[in-house]
Amino acid sequence: MSKPVLVVGGGPAGLAAAHSLATVGRECVIVEKEDRLGGTPILSGYAKLVPTGEWAKDAIGGMVDRVENEDNVKIVTSARVTSFDGTPGNFTAQLSNGDSLDVEAAILCSGFSHFDSVNKPEWGFGTFEDVVTTTQVEQMISSGQGVRCPSDGRKPQRVAILLCVGSRDRQIGREWCSKICCTVSANMAMEIREELPDCHVYIYYMDIRTFGLYETKYYWKSQEEFKVKYIKARIAEVTSDGEKLIVKGEDTLVKRPITIPFDMVVHAIGMDPNVDNPEIAETFGIDLESHGYIDVANSYGAMGATSRPGVFVAGSATGPETIDDSIAQGHAAAMAVLSSGKELKSA
């Protein structure tokens, strides 16, 4: 009888990995540091997901329910892995709750951390109440409250969404692109226009990266059907004239300074490496790549192999990632565990 597989993290990737393992009759244990499963889409209160338009609580909530109903999946919440020793097929994990687990392999689905906008102070977050993040707007929508200015609860008439907050920004040590913010922001702009048809929504961008089929479904649709306005700009600062927020910058297409007043400014915050990654790397004896994400080997042999045999990784732990791709990688990493286990036995 094979030992169970350890899945670290109960977000989209971890839920997919656990479901895969249970499907083929393999036991697994999900260890989640928070007090419930679902990962960022649930814990941060996301609204409708890209690209399906399903509510996060239904889509990811459904994945949670499925895993919770699997006999082969054991769930440990509010716990962390504190040590991980042994060799492939034969690891022992110590947990922060005092438990000890003998496992065959581990799949790290430990996700990312949202960029904290206080690290970009010149763009007004923390200074002005009506400068918010995409996560806050997701929560306004998913709560049913609607998009309102936090300062006084009014419906905004003009909203600016600033892309690349905490992304593509060498000044603050975040050179990577967060991959999905352009598309999420285009989607959010349409949701705002749908709820508040009189509200003008502007998106400030460097490059619009609505890759693949997102191009028509989000970028073109948001402009043509929802009249969202896109401005290619370098933003200097977000200030206030006492009444309105003022976004100052340079329109890089017409090479002129632009100063536009808004009721609400939304930071499209990036995906940082999980703040726990240095600790995770130490505990599991694995390498991080140069930006601080978990380094992943090639995908051709075993999907999601890390630098340590028997330890795999999936989803946004490896870098900025979409939910769909995180799910695919979770399933694939489960397969890599099964495949490597088979090789162990035949060795």
Among 178, 277, 283, 306, indicate the residue that binds a second copy (CB under 8 A).
178
203 binds a second copy (CB under 8 A): no
Closest approach of a second copy to the CB of residue 99, in Å: 28
Closest approach of a second copy to the CB of residue 45, in Å: 17
C-alpha–C-alpha distance, residues 292 and 110, integer Å? 13
Which listed range, 101-109, 193-201, 239-247, 334-342, lies at the site for a second copy (CB under 8 A)? 334-342
- 166 in the Ramachandran plot: left (φ > 0), alpha (ψ -120 to 50) or beta? left
C-alpha–C-alpha distance, residues 246 and 242, integer Å? 10
| Residue 320: partners with Cβ closer than 8 Å, 6 or more residues away | 112, 167, 176, 177, 178, 179, 180, 270, 271
Q: Considering beta carbons, is residue 191 or 325 the nearer one to a second copy?
A: 325
Closest approach of a second copy to the CB of residue 304, in Å: 8
209 binds a second copy (CB under 8 A): yes
Among 220, 225, 229, 278, indicate the residue that binds a second copy (CB under 8 A).
220
Among 210, 222, 283, 306, indicate the residue that binds a second copy (CB under 8 A).
210
Q: Is-cis flag, bond preceding 273, omega within 30?
A: no
Angle at 244 between CA 238 and CA 249, to 5 degrees: 30
23 binds a second copy (CB under 8 A): yes
Sort 235 into a burial class: Cβ within 10 Å, 0-12 / 13-18 / 19+.
Answer: buried
Give residues 75-134 in contact with a second copy (rule: CB under 8 A).
none
96 and 82 Cβ atoms separated by less than 8 Å: yes
Q: Tokens for 247?
A: 């976004």
Among 198, 212, 242, 346, indicate the residue that binds a second copy (CB under 8 A).
212
342 binds a second copy (CB under 8 A): yes
Binding-site size for a second copy (CB under 8 A) equals 58
CA proximity to 137, closest of 184, 78, 202: 184
Closest approach of a second copy to the CB of residue 229, in Å: 16
């889509």: which residue's tokens? Answer: 59
| Residue numbers at the binding site for a second copy (CB under 8 A) | 16, 19-20, 23-24, 52, 54, 59-60, 62-63, 168, 175-179, 207-216, 220, 252-255, 289-291, 293, 298-301, 303, 319-321, 323-325, 327-329, 331-332, 334-336, 338-339, 342
